[in-house]
Amino acid sequence: MTDFQCRQCGVCCKQPGFVYLASGDAERLAAYLKMDIYSFTQAYCLLQDRRYLALKKNQDESCLFLKSKGCSAYDARPAQCREFPLRWKTEKSLKYCEGLKPR
Ligand code: SF4
Ligand code: SF4
Protein backbone atom coordinates (compact mmCIF):
# COMPACT_ATOMS: atom_id res chain seq x y z
CA MET A 1 0.00 0.00 0.00
CA THR A 2 1.58 3.30 -1.01
CA ASP A 3 -1.30 5.76 -0.76
CA PHE A 4 -1.87 5.44 2.99
CA GLN A 5 -2.70 8.74 4.65
CA CYS A 6 -2.83 8.95 8.44
CA ARG A 7 -5.92 10.89 9.57
CA GLN A 8 -4.28 11.78 12.90
CA CYS A 9 -7.23 10.33 14.80
CA GLY A 10 -5.04 8.81 17.52
CA VAL A 11 -7.16 5.66 17.80
CA CYS A 12 -4.10 3.44 17.33
CA CYS A 13 -2.55 5.10 20.40
CA LYS A 14 -5.45 3.98 22.61
CA GLN A 15 -5.43 0.28 21.85
CA PRO A 16 -4.94 -2.54 24.34
CA GLY A 17 -1.49 -4.06 24.21
CA PHE A 18 1.89 -2.45 24.42
CA VAL A 19 4.32 -0.36 22.46
CA TYR A 20 7.56 -2.28 22.84
CA LEU A 21 10.80 -0.37 22.57
CA ALA A 22 13.34 -1.42 19.96
CA SER A 23 17.04 -0.74 20.09
CA GLY A 24 17.63 3.02 20.22
CA ASP A 25 14.01 3.98 20.99
CA ALA A 26 14.51 4.71 24.69
CA GLU A 27 17.67 6.74 24.04
CA ARG A 28 15.95 8.77 21.31
CA LEU A 29 12.88 9.47 23.44
CA ALA A 30 14.99 10.35 26.47
CA ALA A 31 17.06 12.81 24.42
CA TYR A 32 13.88 14.31 22.93
CA LEU A 33 12.49 14.83 26.42
CA LYS A 34 15.89 16.08 27.67
CA MET A 35 15.99 13.35 30.29
CA ASP A 36 18.74 10.95 31.23
CA ILE A 37 18.01 7.36 30.27
CA TYR A 38 17.48 6.22 33.86
CA SER A 39 14.93 8.93 34.62
CA PHE A 40 13.19 8.26 31.32
CA THR A 41 12.81 4.53 31.88
CA GLN A 42 11.61 5.09 35.45
CA ALA A 43 8.98 7.57 34.31
CA TYR A 44 7.80 6.11 31.02
CA CYS A 45 8.72 2.43 30.76
CA LEU A 46 7.80 -0.89 32.24
CA LEU A 47 9.48 -4.23 31.91
CA GLN A 48 7.46 -6.99 30.26
CA ASP A 49 8.36 -10.63 30.83
CA ARG A 50 11.37 -9.39 32.78
CA ARG A 51 13.24 -8.41 29.62
CA TYR A 52 11.22 -6.31 27.17
CA LEU A 53 10.89 -2.57 27.67
CA ALA A 54 7.49 -1.16 26.80
CA LEU A 55 5.86 2.23 27.21
CA LYS A 56 3.68 2.73 30.26
CA LYS A 57 0.03 3.47 29.57
CA ASN A 58 -2.78 5.39 31.17
CA GLN A 59 -5.51 3.44 32.92
CA ASP A 60 -7.77 3.81 29.90
CA GLU A 61 -5.06 2.08 27.77
CA SER A 62 -4.06 5.29 25.99
CA CYS A 63 -0.36 6.03 25.59
CA LEU A 64 1.18 8.49 28.04
CA PHE A 65 2.40 10.51 25.07
CA LEU A 66 -1.02 10.91 23.47
CA LYS A 67 -2.28 14.47 23.93
CA SER A 68 -5.20 16.34 22.44
CA LYS A 69 -3.20 17.24 19.32
CA GLY A 70 -1.76 13.76 18.87
CA CYS A 71 1.55 12.22 19.81
CA SER A 72 3.55 14.64 21.94
CA ALA A 73 6.75 12.76 21.08
CA TYR A 74 6.02 12.28 17.40
CA ASP A 75 9.49 13.10 16.09
CA ALA A 76 11.05 10.60 18.51
CA ARG A 77 8.27 7.99 18.56
CA PRO A 78 9.26 4.33 18.84
CA ALA A 79 9.87 2.14 15.80
CA GLN A 80 6.67 0.19 16.50
CA CYS A 81 4.68 3.41 16.05
CA ARG A 82 6.64 4.48 12.96
CA GLU A 83 6.03 1.15 11.29
CA PHE A 84 2.26 1.07 11.83
CA PRO A 85 0.31 0.43 9.65
CA LEU A 86 2.55 0.10 6.62
CA ARG A 87 4.90 -2.54 8.01
CA TRP A 88 2.49 -4.23 10.40
CA LYS A 89 -1.22 -4.19 11.10
CA THR A 90 -3.83 -6.43 12.69
CA GLU A 91 -7.33 -7.52 11.73
CA LYS A 92 -8.64 -5.12 14.35
CA SER A 93 -6.63 -2.20 13.02
CA LEU A 94 -8.15 -2.72 9.59
CA LYS A 95 -11.46 -1.79 11.25
CA TYR A 96 -10.44 1.12 13.45
CA CYS A 97 -7.78 2.85 11.37
CA GLU A 98 -9.48 5.44 9.20
CA GLY A 99 -6.42 5.69 7.00
CA LEU A 100 -6.67 2.02 6.06
CA LYS A 101 -10.31 2.26 4.99
CA PRO A 102 -11.00 2.39 1.27
CA ARG A 103 -11.80 5.87 0.05
S1 SF4 B 1 -5.57 4.84 13.65
FE2 SF4 B 1 -4.69 5.06 11.59
S3 SF4 B 1 -5.42 7.07 10.88
FE4 SF4 B 1 -5.69 7.02 13.11
S5 SF4 B 1 -3.80 7.94 13.92
FE6 SF4 B 1 -3.49 5.71 13.85
S7 SF4 B 1 -2.48 5.36 11.87
FE8 SF4 B 1 -3.39 7.38 11.76
S1 SF4 C 1 4.41 7.06 21.29
FE2 SF4 C 1 3.10 8.46 20.17
S3 SF4 C 1 2.59 7.37 18.26
FE4 SF4 C 1 3.34 5.83 19.74
S5 SF4 C 1 1.48 5.05 20.78
FE6 SF4 C 1 2.33 6.72 22.02
S7 SF4 C 1 1.17 8.54 21.34
FE8 SF4 C 1 0.94 6.96 19.77
pLDDT digits (tens, 9 = 90+) for 41-65: 999 999 999 999 999 999 999 999 9
Q: Is residue 47 helix, strand or coil?
A: strand
What is the model's pLDDT at position 52? 96
Delimit the domains of the chain by residue range.
11-100
For residue 10 and ligand 1, the question of a CB distance below 6 A is answered with yes
What is the average pLDDT across 79-94? 94
What local confidence, expressed as pLDDT, does residue 103 receive? 74
pTM over 0.85: yes
**Which ligand is located closest to the Cα atom of residue 6?**
1
Q: What are phi and psi of 46, to 5 degrees?
A: -135, 160
Is residue 65 within 8 Å of residue 72, measured between CB atoms?
yes
Within 13 Å, how many C-alpha atoms sit on residue 86's CB side? 9
Query: Residue 1: is its pLDDT beyond 60?
Result: no
User: For ligand 1, atom 4, which residue shows the shortest CA distance?
Assistant: 9
Q: What is the 8-class DSSP label of residue 18?
A: -
Distances (CA, A) of 92 to 26, 70, 83, 87: 27, 21, 16, 15
